[in-house]
A and B are shown apart, each in its own frame.
Chain A
């Protein structure tokens, strides 16, 4: 009994959410925002003053599978903020980076992610699911329909529509 109790005490049971594209709750015309740190896109000096920073696929990579599971998701996905919920709370999009000095915001339309295509035109659709938190009720996740980590070519495809 003591051994079983000891074993159970070392178990961590993490409930994971299935990644389901919410087409009804999050229609195609909505806007998503992704925080981007300068060091994801080559550093601040790479962007001349007054110019818009050039995004790279590195700004749209998923949490790795083990990290995603720790966060409670069944597979790799990436965090974004849903504009409509921000508006409902009366916040501008800058709310997403309010506590993150020096960050930028990438903006992408939900429909462009669902109809995403690679450079050769082959489809690589992405799903969007709401996953509100106490601190960020606008929090959502984007995931690749193909199982596993989003490939760099697909990250690059997101750059083209962002």
Chain B
């Protein structure tokens, strides 16, 4: 699969955005009418499966493209990929992660490290000189989005993304290139 186009069967559930976010108004994802037949889109969009009843198209910025490519690589890892019985990437982990990436796109300053978790979830991490942020999706039912943040000043926070009132600020901080 080339880096210029990524396709995946994606249905995006509604994921609660971080409450009290300081983000300015952004394009919100709205449910589309059902799409009949598979649609293969350009690298700026994501393909959807014909059998899905709720479809959301994500406008993918250039910054998100390498992340999509990386997720696609991780999809290929088999069961036991980490020598400790790691589960392969679970499909339900992908849409929530992509959705939160779109929400946070305007505050992401650098490409995150994208990793697979032992449960078959995904983790994004940014680590700069003074802070670390890890954003992970666990493939539970429903998928859970968790945040871990640590700053050299002594701040450390761990919890659900929907309870994280400073997520956009912390992503901006941890993804700094300096």
* Residues of A participating in the B interface, judged by any CB pair closer than 8 Å: 35, 37, 39-43, 46, 54, 56-58, 61, 63-64, 67, 71, 78-79, 100, 103, 118-120, 151-153, 156
Contact = CB atoms under 8 A, between A and B. Distances in A.
Contacts of B127: 54, 56
Interface residues of B, number: 30
Given A37-B81, A57-B134, A119-B154, 20 more contacts: A35-B82, A39-B74, A39-B77, A39-B81, A40-B82, A40-B115, A41-B113, A42-B114, A54-B127, A58-B136, A61-B117, A64-B118, A64-B119, A67-B85, A71-B85, A78-B84, A100-B83, A103-B83, A152-B136, A156-B148
A63 B84 contact: yes
Contacts of A120: 154, 156
Given A152-B134, A152-B158, A57 B85 contact: no
A100 to B, nearest CB: 5
B78 to A, nearest CB: 11
A152 B156 CA distance: 11
Contact of B113 (A46, A64, A103): A46
B94 interface: no
Nearest to A35: B83
Interface in B113-165: 113-119, 123, 125, 127, 132, 134, 136, 146, 148, 150, 154, 156, 158
Given A39-B77, A42-B113, A43-B73, A153 B156 contact: yes
18 contacts: A37-B81, A37-B82, A37-B83, A39-B77, A40-B82, A41-B113, A57-B134, A57-B148, A58-B117, A63-B85, A67-B85, A71-B85, A119-B150, A152-B134, A153-B148, A153-B156, A153-B158, A156-B150
A120 to B, nearest CB: 6
Contacts of B77: 39
B83 to A, nearest CB: 5
B103 to A, nearest CB: 21
